[in-house]
Structure 1
Amino acid sequence: MQASNAAKFSAGSFLPVIEQCNGCERIVEVEGGRFCDTYMNPAAKWRLGICNFATHAKPEVKVVKIRVNPLKAAKRASRRK
């Protein structure tokens, strides 16, 4: 780690990582502290759900099957031709 990066983290502008950040590839250890290399306040990123910078957690994708009325589908298909 370069000295300029160490000064950035130790100056207090970056807050330490929280428990949900464990396992992320963006964590940097500087002078005995663990900080997020990308975001200054990791707790704020996890407040509304999953952090969009997290490399260890993937969002859940819900697949919802929509029922299509076959009569309406046939009418739409005949109009396109």
Structure 2
Amino acid sequence: GCGFNGGTCHIVIEACEGCQKATEYSSGKYCLIFPDPTAKWRLGNCNMATHIKVEEKKAGKVNPLKASKRGH
């Protein structure tokens, strides 16, 4: 059982739908990692979410004069 907040975990929120960490039980759908999914999404994306793709920033143009001085 979950020992969070008086012995009960919180059911996943809509933002968790599609995540592989969310598991269905007879009493509802719960996160395997965090007992309170709402708290993880409050400040932005959940860092353990498997259904969100993070876009990587592309490297900007490199100045060839400075690149030659770096020493590879």
Q: TM-score, normalised by structure 1?
A: 0.64
Q: CA deviation at 1:39?
A: 0.7
> CA 1:47 to 1:64, structure 2 compared with 1: closer, same or farther past 3 Å?
farther
Q: CA deviation at 1:69?
A: 5.5
Structure 1 match to 2:51: 56
Structure 2 unaligned spans of 5+: none
In 1: Cα distance, 2:27 partner to 2:38 partner: 19
In 1: Cα distance, 2:50 partner to 2:67 partner: 41
> CA 1:37 to 1:73, structure 2 compared with 1: closer, same or farther past 3 Å?
closer
Higher helix share: 1
In 2: Cα distance, 1:64 partner to 1:50 partner: 24
Encode CA deviations 1:23-75: one digit per residue, 9 max, x unaligned.
111112223211101111111212222211111112121214144252x444x
In 2: Cα distance, 1:51 partner to 1:23 partner: 13
CA RMSD of aligned residues (A): 2.3
Structure 2 match to 1:37: 32
In 2: Cα distance, 1:49 partner to 1:43 partner: 10
In 1: Cα distance, 2:15 partner to 2:63 partner: 41
Read off the aligned partner of 1:16 and give its amino acid letter. Answer: I
Q: Percent identity?
A: 38
- Aligned pair count reads 68
